[in-house]
Amino acid sequence: MEVQQIFDRIAPVYDRLNDLLSLGQHRIWKQMTVKWSQASLGDTCVDLCCGSGDLALRLARQVGANGRVYGIDFSSQLLAIAQQRSQSQYPQPPISWVEADVLNLPFANNHFDAATMGYGLRNVIDIPCCLKELHRVLKPGAKAAILDFHRPENPQFRAFQQWYLDNLVVPAARHFNLTEEYAYISPSLDRFPSGKAQVQLSQEVGFATATHYPIANGMMGILVLTKGWG
């Protein structure tokens, strides 16, 4: 099953399953991600793989009425939910929802003051290409913060994570008739580069600085990137 189809299918229960996957902590980590992006009042920002809009809505609060946020996702179902959420807010947040591929962004070079990405990098088919596109659309000196699940290096935490996925997440997905869709999580974690490898990939595509912060005992991490001035 293609990743795009998976996310279209899980869209109606995406937020509830995210709560379960992150032990209810994803809101705190998303706030940390926005903070590390250094988005400021009046900025133009992008949230890649925006899903149901959590990070984009947080970015919108950060940039204020004079700023602009673009939420990008390839799942039309998730974008519809994100749009619904933003329309239910008053005043209307300054967000444009765009159906697009993060490997081929429909924006000019040096366009954004800051960027975020939550639980998306692990699912793209070409991570270096995604990082390169992100580098291209950021202004010189701009930062990006990328939040995702990881396999912990510590064997005990790794074993706990696998137990948690097998015994809590997959049965919950089964309850929503989404077993097949959530079966992709374990293999995606196995394939996902470690924090050190992400730093190296980021530097290879041109980022001036790249730092990976492990959180939740290494089960989660935030990659913070800065585009150079050169």
For the stretch 72-100, what's the b/e string if a residue is b when 16 or more beta carbons lie within 10 angstroms of its beta carbon? bbbbebbbebbbebbeeeeeebbbebbee
- In 3D space, the residue among 64, 229, 202, 102 whose CA is nearest the CA of residue 144 turns out to be 202
In one-letter notation, the amino acid at residue 61 is R
Structure-block tokens of residue 8 = 């279209």
Go through 153-180 and write b for each residue having 16 or more CB atoms within 10 A of its CB, e for each that does not: eeeeebeebeeebeeebbebbeeeebee
pLDDT tens for the chain, 230 residues long, are: 476 677 767 666 677 777 777 777 778 899 999 999 999 999 999 999 999 899 999 999 999 999 999 999 999 989 999 999 999 988 889 999 999 999 999 999 999 999 999 999 998 999 999 999 999 999 999 999 999 989 999 999 999 999 988 888 888 778 778 777 677 788 889 999 999 999 999 999 999 999 999 998 999 999 999 999 97
pLDDT score for 165: 85
pLDDT for residue 148? 93
User: What is d(CA 104, CA 196) in angstroms, rounded to the nearest whole number?
Assistant: 25
E strand or H helix at 181: helix 179-182
Alpha helix ranges (H) inside 97-154: 127-137
User: pTM for the full model?
Assistant: 0.92
What pLDDT is attached to residue 197? 97
Report which of 9, 1, 27 is spatially closest to residue 119, judged by C-alpha positions: 27
Alpha helices of 70-169 — where are they, by DSSP H? 76-87, 127-137, 155-164
Rounded Cα distance, 19 and 27, in Å: 9
